Structure 1
Amino acid sequence: MLVEKTQTQPIYSIPSIRNYRWSTHLDLLRGLASLLVFIGHMRILLFIEYSEINNPSFLIKRLNSLTVLGHQSVMIFFVLSGFFISASVIKRIRQKQWSWVNYLVDRLTRLYIVLIPALLLSSFWDFLGVKIFGTGQDSFYGEKFHNEHLATYKILENFTFQNALGTLAFVQTIFVDLFGSNKAVWSLAYEFWYYIIFPSIILFFFVKSLRARVLYACLASGILLMVGSEIRIYFLVWLMGALVSISHPSKYLNNKNILKSLTLLSILILCIALISERFIGREIADFFVGISTAVMIYLLVNSRSQIKQGGAYEKFSRGLAGCSYTLYLVHMPILCFIRACVIGDRPWEPDILHIFLALIIVLFVFLYAVVISHFTEAKTGKFRNLIMSWIKNRTLNQA
């Protein structure tokens, strides 16, 4: 999903995010979170519900535990996003380098360079699926998603130009429905409006002009009213990452044993929070996931663990993170098409053969996303510089 490291540093005095070793750990965290979302959707689309399995084996129980964490993984993305974006925003404002134009170019280029191709690919796979399999009662594209778990609508009903435009304007789930089979785009509406609300709130306290303060207060309030209660609630999860970015390191963290113990404890709490939804409810579990993720990031930021530069761990983490946003946005439509192609009326039983086939599908879709990321996500910097150059040249020509 959408989490990008900025080239700025958090508010307290630590080395640059871009160069510091702990960023490798955060790369791994966001990469694994993206994989969990992807694998979770794969399980729901291809396999029967866990409740329908008679006497599940130990292996099936463990696999089920790993493939039900997609929603919770989005909470991890929110906290990471809050951490990186808030640090960048506050630093620019404090150094009097704030520019809405530069900020929006940064955010929108990062969003659109993957979102636009993802919507085009969604259109391709959904159109192909409808043409091949039709929209009758026996067609996956004519009926609701498998067990109505992923969505409660027919793909064709949401495969509209209006929903595509609404997604590009980040008002999906607010004013329009999700586009076609690509349910994963729901979180981008949350992210985008958090990107606007947060600097508006911070600028309210930093600007001296009364008119500007009223303007920012109205902007933040208006957006919070517009987006609805759920987006407002999860803004608190996003702010947990922002809280980490302005937190100062504790003197107690200089003790390696204490730091290691607290890091392991935060990981344990995160694991418990990830699997506790059925017992305490989704929203409360989501807040626990957010809190434990924020604590983990805080501890990682303040650790001094040494990572071999250019080593296998660093390469793997950066590589996985480098395609995470693309994987998040492009996996659903092709998974739906594969589901329609390989599965009949009833989803698979989780036996050895079908688990092996699912692993092949996972590998294929992952490589599909990696290839796309080389033409999208990997080009974010170049695309951003191109847009900024165009804006500067246009400004000079008008001067």
Structure 2
Amino acid sequence: MADPAPPLPRPFSLYLDCCRFLAAVLVVVSHFRPYGAIAAGSGYWWLGLGRESVVVFFVLSGFVIAYTAERKPTGLRGYCVARCTRIYSVALPVALLAFGAAALLVLAKLATPQQFYQLGKPWLYLPLHLLFMGELWTLSETPPLLAPYWSLGYEVWYYALFGAAFYLRGRRRLLAVGAMLLFVGPKLWLLLPVWLAGVAAYHWQKTHTLGRTQALAGWVLSLLLLAAFKASELDAALRALAHAGWPFPGLPLKSADRFLADYVVCMLVVMNFLCARSAGLGLLLRIERPVRWLAAYTFTLYLAHALVMQVWLIVYPHRRTDLADVLSLAAVIVSATLLIGELTEHRKGWCARLFTWAAARLPFAQQAGGAAKSMR
């Protein structure tokens, strides 16, 4: 195998962590209005950057996965263990917590069984969500109280597609990638270019650099263009255009109905990352410790905040116009994120041991691991 890729420059690595944490915060903020935590008239455009933040996550995910696959050549088995550990260490306990919270709300008569219909068939919906199959073809399913879970139904399958394309060879690669593409369906096809743009950005920055002045100008321009795009509501116009031009009424777009706007945001995010790579940004080194610490809770914050927010709004007589109540909700979200993150995202050892044990006993994983070793 090729020599491992060199590490990313520390300032750029810090910048990516900043983007990751900021994107999670913007997703949280974007849910305050539609969930009813703040008044409906709070119409500032920056309160609605949740979808754009998910695009940031997709591009960043493709970039980081491409980097780690080259940087840590562990073979297909090691790749699968690492990805499963990362996802399930948070997704599994939070999904179970969401089902449990929904059941308690129904038992306490604070919610109806119809609101959480998944509880009626846990034998169906739990495996569906734990296998991240909620966005396949015409499906659009998330666990109770976990609306942000939808993006995992895309990202996890992109991990699988990348792993098959990167580690397998010849006919096995073609069959595996082709079978998965047929299995996941058109919604995932539409957003796959966004994730792959991150992979392409990683490879481009290995061999290309920009002048510092040019990079700083491009970085600022990318942010201004994103702000103008969102403030002008062009995203809504592109969403309507996507619906009007979609030729397959039997295959509704659902969570992929913003794909045209996603492509625009994707190009701006890639531009931002590539400019940041050459812009220096050495000042970030002064805040490296808090940035790394905050970024370590990103996945938990992204996934668990909706659960916390909705339970709070159901149980507590929240006043959406009362600043004290809004700040109290924010404090509860932060506290819950720290607690859940300490028990999940920061304690992945049990999950890594479980998947390492399972992978060592799968014949195809053993063969893949042996093939990878023979290529070194």
TM-score w.r.t. structure 2 length?
A: 0.80
- Asked if 1:337 is matched to 2:337, the reply is no
Asked if the contact 2:59/2:195 (under 8 Å) is kept, the reply is yes
1:225 and 1:328, CA in 2 relative to 1: closer, same or farther beyond 3 A? same
Letter matched to residue 297 of structure 2 = C
Q: Does 1:25 align with 2:1?
A: no
> 2:246 — aligned with what?
none
**Residue 197 (1) aligns with residue 197 (2):** no
> Is 1:156 aligned with 2:107?
no
Instruction: Give the structure 2 partner of residue 128 of structure 1.
Output: 104
Q: Which among 200, 207, 218 is matched to residue 262 of structure 1? A: 218
Report how far residue 264 of structure 1 moved: 0.4
Superposed CA deviations along residues 173-216 of structure 1, whole A, max 9, x for unmatched, are 32683222212111112111101112323456xx3xxxxx2221
2:108 partner SS: helix
- Residues 22 and 252 (structure 1 numbering): CA distance in 2 closer, same or farther, change over 3 Å? closer
Give runs of aligned pairs for residues 86-235 of structure 1, distance below 5 A: 86-90=66-70, 97=73, 99-135=75-111, 141=112, 154-159=114-119, 160-161=121-122, 162-174=124-136, 177-203=141-167, 207=169, 213-235=170-192
In structure 2, the partner of 1:151 is none
In structure 2, the residue matched to 1:279 is 237
Question: Shift of residue 249 of structure 1?
Answer: 6.0
Contact 1:10–1:87 (8 Å) recurs in 2: no
Question: Matches of 1:40 and 1:248 in 2, distance apart?
Answer: 31
Q: CA deviation at 1:117?
A: 1.1
Normalised to the residue count of structure 1, the TM-score between the two structures is: 0.76
Task: Tell me what 1:210 maps to.
Answer: none
Taking the TM superposition and a 5 Å limit, the aligned residue runs for 1:8-47 are 15-17=6-8, 20-47=10-37
What is the RMSD computed on CA atoms of the aligned residues?
A: 2.9
Q: State the secondary structure of the residue aligned to 1:155.
A: coil
Amino acid at match of 2:347: K
**Residue 195 of structure 2 is aligned to residue 238 of structure 1:** yes
For the pair 1:294 / 2:270, whether they are aligned, the reply is: yes
Taking structure 1 as reference, are residues 265 and 176 closer, same or farther at Cα in structure 2, changes over 3 Å only? closer
Aligned residue number for residue 367 of structure 1: 335
Mapped partners of 1:386, 1:225: distance in 2: 32
Q: How many residues align?
A: 338
Output the amino acid matched with 2:29: I
Provide closer, same or farther for how the CA distance between residues 227 and 248 of structure 1 changes in structure 2, counting only shifts above 3 A.
Answer: same
Q: CA deviation at 1:24?
A: 1.2
Between the aligned partners of 1:177 and 1:308, the Cα distance in structure 2 is 39
Helix, strand or coil: the match of 1:188? helix
User: Contact 1:166 / 1:176 at 8 angstroms: preserved in 2?
Assistant: no
- Counterparts of 1:394 and 1:47 in 2: how far apart (Å)? 48
Matched, 1:79 2:59: yes
Q: Deviations over 1:9-29 (max 9, x none)?
A: 995xxx513x62211111111
Aligned amino acid, residue 107 of structure 1: R
- Contact 1:83 1:241 (C-alpha < 8 Å) held by counterparts: yes
Moved more, 174-183 or 230-239: 174-183
Match of 1:327 in 2: 301
Q: Which amino acid aligns with 1:127?
A: A
**CA separation of 1:132 and 1:187: change in aligned 2, threshold 3 A:** same
Residues 216-257 of structure 1 show CA distances to partners (whole Å, capped at 9, x for unaligned) of 112111111111211111111001100111004677623x22
Displacement, 1:109? 0.5
Given that 1:72 and 1:274 are in contact with CA atoms closer than 8 Å, whether structure 2 keeps it comes out as no
Report the CA distance between 1:90 and its aligned residue.
Answer: 4.5
Contact 1:75 1:290 in 2 (8 A): yes
The whole-number CA distance in structure 2 between the counterparts of 1:366 and 1:325 is 13
Q: Deviations over 1:286-345 (max 9, x none)?
A: 111111111111122223221364x3x32332222111101112122222221112348x
SS at match of 1:247: helix
Matched to 1:337, the amino acid is V
Long gaps (5+) in structure 2: 240-257, 367-376
Contact 1:158 1:177 in 2 (8 A): no
Letter in 2 for 1:377: E
| SS of 1:377 mapped into structure 2 | coil
Rate the CA distance shift 1:239–1:252 in 2: closer, same or farther, 3 A. Answer: closer
Aligned residue identity for 2:164: S
Residue pairs, 1:46-65, within 5 angstroms:
46-47=36-37, 50=40, 53=41, 60-62=42-44, 65=45
| 1:266–1:357 CA distance, 2 compared to 1 (3 A) | same
User: Does the Cα contact within 8 Å between 1:36 and 1:73 map onto a contact in 2?
Assistant: yes
Q: Secondary structure at the match of 1:180?
A: coil
Deviations 1:5-47 (A, max 9, x none): xxxx995xxx513x62211111111111111112222321124
User: 1:252/1:121 Cα in 2 relative to 1: closer, same or farther (>3 Å)?
Assistant: closer
Q: Classify 1:48/1:29 alpha carbon distance in 2 versus 1 (closer, same or farther; 3 Å).
A: closer
Q: 1:101 to 1:360 in 2, by over 3 A?
A: same
Q: Which segments of structure 1 move beyond 4 Å, counting only runs of 4 or more? A: 249-252, 387-395
Whole-angstrom CA distance in 1 between matches of 2:307 and 2:164: 35
Deviation by residue 1:47-66 (Cα, 9 ceiling, x = unmatched): 4774xx4xxxxxx443xx23
